[in-house]
Amino acid sequence: MAEAVASDRLDEAVEAEINTALKAGPEAMAAAKALITAFSQTPDHSAQNETAIAALASIWDTDGAREGINAFFAKTPPPWSNSG
């Protein structure tokens, strides 16, 4: 859980989280989901750190990462966005 909100703000908060997730590239989302699964299988923080470092290193040099970085510097939406 990243944030606690009053019940009358729940829909708004959920929508904000969903919109944030939708901005991420598909490869990044897949890697994040894999990390969540890996983290749930070990409470060892050192192992979690090593897993996260390895995941970041492997995703950094993908086409999706390059497309996202290029879009960021060009100030344009990335190819996977609804507005791209």
Whole-Å CA distances, 25 to 15, 30, 68, 69, 70: 18, 9, 7, 11, 13
Question: What pTM does this model have?
Answer: 0.64
CA gap 48, 8 in Å, rounded: 35
pLDDT digits (tens, 9 = 90+) for 34-59: 888 988 888 888 888 998 899 889 88
State percent of the chain over pLDDT 90.
Answer: 33
Name the pLDDT band for 84 (thresholds 50, 70, 90): very low
Mean per-residue pLDDT of the chain: 87
- Structural domains in the chain, CATH included, are 25-84 (1.10.12.10)
